[in-house]
Structure formats: structure tokens, C-alpha cells
Amino acid sequence: MNTGTAVRNINVSQSIAESLRLEMERDSRVLVLGEDVGLQGGVFGSTRGLQKAFGRDRVRDTPISEMAFTGMAVGLAMEGYRPVVEIMFVDFVGVCLEQVYNAAAKIRYMTGGRVAMPMVIKTAGGCIGSAAQHSQCLWGTFAHLPGLKVVAPSSPYDSKGLMAAAVESDDPVVFIEHKGLLLQKAGSFAHGAEVPRERYTVPLGQAAVVRPGTDLTLVTLSATVGESLAAAGELAAEGVDVEVVDLRSVVPLDLDTVAASVARTGRLLVVDEDYLGFGLSGEVVTGVIERLGPQALRQVARHGTPDVPVPAAITLEQAVVPRRASIGQAVRAMGAAS
């Protein structure tokens, strides 16, 4: 990814704010609604400056009334607007889930394709030592519900480009930022650190090989991409050459890129910060087997957060959430050196 251009050392939330600003300049139908998105510019700063630039009608602080303002976005979308709704943390979506999976996700289908639903539910997920009700990823939950696109970027570059694509999409997109990445500066990323000033999109549903390797395909997304790259660096010194694939979106799921990689390496490890059961990891493994046949895989493994609420104490959290060290262990356990 390094093309020699100087890195603009903005953080991830700034790259998202910049993306939203460019979308709002392009299209006056784009609106931003949510708690603390206006005056404060978001608790992480990912809507900073927008209210000043576009006024209160287009960037609106709402009461703590998620059911009302998420449903409001559905109505606005039916009026031809392109609302971006911020649910501060993905953990809070329960109070408005009805509007998400019965309204936003289903209206296009129920109308026989007559009604578009160009809304973005922008939210922050992931684990940052915040215990059971503030540390969830939940992308698997949304992915299970037909009609929603689900995006979870891992880098500043992708955050900007995927947000542009999400706003441009005529379908509802659940855009899950990672709480642990939002305030991280571009310069500290090993991948996707350069964020051009001008508008660009990163297409939804296209995975990226962020580290080529020959011994094992490690598939992941969001903040665990960085953790996996760090683990891969250590493993390289031990003679294990790991290919890291960043899915970038869960729906659509780019199984072609994953399968092409596994066809070369013969080993698949899925690393997922979301709950392990009935989720992304099972989907990826099954999808690859369906494409390549079981004989194409010498080894398969999953490493995710077990089906346990994320505990408060940091010693307990470290025991359940995949991070660099545990990812390294998971690869070593596969004995992947060729």
C-alpha cells in the first residue's frame, strides 16, 4: 500500500468525518442524525465539523430515542433522503432493532423492489475493556438478517472509502467502526495508512489481501486485522508465512478472494472478535469448503470470542478476546510451517 506519498497523520474518526463531508457536499439529500453528532461532532469525533458546515437541519443532535430516530431514517429514506444514523455503540441497537430488521432491511423486498432504502447505520463496535454491555461486535447478528449490508473496516483508508460507498449504496448498510481504532492515528497503521484528501470509494464486498503469504490463510476483519498483521510478523521470524485477508465487509462476503487464497495455502484460520457460535467464522469455513471441496483444506481452525459475554476485569477479557498473542498461538497450534 505504501506508494511513497507522505502519510496524513489523521485518525480514523477524522477520515470518516472527511468522507461524510464529501458525501454531503456531493449530495444534499445526505443527512446525519444521532446523539451528540452535531455540537460535539460525535463522541469519537467522526462527525466533527459537519453541523458547522451543513447546518442543524442536515446534522442533527437527537434525544436518546433510538427507536424514533432510526425509524425516522426509514421514513426519510422513503422520502428520497440518504440518512446516516449514528447509534453511538452497536451494543445499544437493541432498543431500535425492530426498525433495523423489520423496516430498514425488509422494505425493499416487501415492496417488490419498488422502494430503495439508502440509509447507513453508523455505529462503533469492538472490545475496549468496557464489559458485557459495551464491548460487542455484533456484525454476525446483522449479517444473519437478510437485507442488510454489513461493513467493518480495519484501516483509515478503508474507513473513508467504505463510508463513501455505504452512503452511495441504495441499500441499508450497517457500518461498524471499531472503538479501539477510531482515535488511532493513520501513522500507526501497518496497512491502509494513506488517506487521500479527495473522494474515493472502496467497493462493498471486496476483501483485500493485506499480507501475502504461502503457509496459511488467516481471514479476519476490523481491528483484528492489525492484531493479525502483528502476529504474522512474529510468525514470519519463526518461519511461518501467513497470508492475511481482510474481509472488509461481512455482507456481501467475498468468499472468492478467500477461496483463492486457501487454494494456494491449503490452510484456513478464521479470526473473529465477534462471538464464535453461529457467526462469521462458521460461514467463512463452510463457504470455502463449498467452493473448494473438503480435500482442498489441509487444516481448518477458528479463533473467536467464545460464546461468553465480554467480562469486565481485564484479566478475564484477555482470556476470551482474540488478540495478537492468542492469534499467534492459534497459528502455532496448527503447526503451519511448510
Partner 1 sequence: MDGPTLVERYFAMVRMRRFEEACLAGVPTREIHGELHIGIGQEAVAAAMIGTLRDDDALVSTHRNHLHALAKGVPAQPMLAEIYERATGLCGGFGGHMHLFDLERRFSTTGIVGSTLPVALGHAYAARIEGRDSVAVGVTGDGGANTGGFHESLNMAGAWRLPLVVLIENNEWAISVPFEESTATPTLAERAAAYGAWGRRVDGLDVEAVAEAFGEAVAHARAGHGPAVLEATCYRFRGHYEGDLDLYRPAGEKDRRRQEQDPLSLTRERILARGAATGAELDAGEEEAAAAIAAMLAAVRADPMPDPATARDHVFAGAAAQKGLI
Ligand X SMILES: Cc1ncc(C[n+]2csc(CCOP(=O)(O)OP(=O)(O)O)c2C)c(N)n1
* Binding residues for partner 1 (CB under 8 A): 35-36, 39-40, 43, 61-68, 91-92, 94-95, 128-135, 306-309, 311-320
Contacting residue, 60, 92, 144, 296, with ligand X by CB under 6 A: 92
Cβ atoms of 336 and 299 within 8 Å: the answer is yes
* Residue 43 CB, nearest approach to ligand X (Å): 8
> Grid coordinates in use for 35?
446523539
Interface with ligand X by CB under 6 A: which range of 87-95, 282-290, 302-310, 323-331?
Answer: 87-95
> Grid coordinates in use for 49?
465539523
Near ligand X in 110-169, by CB under 6 A: none
Interface with ligand X by CB under 6 A: which range of 88-96, 100-108, 288-296, 320-328?
Answer: 88-96
Assess whether 134 carries a catalytic annotation.
Answer: yes
Work out the angle at residue 165's Cα, subtended by the Cα atoms of residues 160 and 169, and round it to the nearest 5 degrees. Answer: 150
Q: What is the DSSP pairing of strand 120-125 with strand 173-178?
A: parallel
C-alpha distances out from residue 281 to 56, 273, 286, Å: 42, 10, 9
Q: Is 67 in the site for ligand X (CB under 6 A)?
A: no
Partner whose binding site includes residue 200, from ligand X, partner 1, none (CB under 5 to 8 Å by kind):
none
Gap between the Cα atoms of 324 and 155, Å rounded: 17
Q: Is 86 in the site for ligand X (CB under 6 A)?
A: no
Conformational region of residue 149, where left means phi above 0, alpha means psi within -120 to 50, and beta covers everything else = beta
Gap between the Cα atoms of 96 and 142, Å rounded: 13
* Residue 20 CB, nearest approach to ligand X (Å): 20
Q: Which of 134, 178, 191, 303 is catalytic?
A: 134
Q: Which residues are known catalytic residues?
A: 134
Positions that interact with ligand X (CB under 6 A):
35, 64, 66, 88, 92, 95
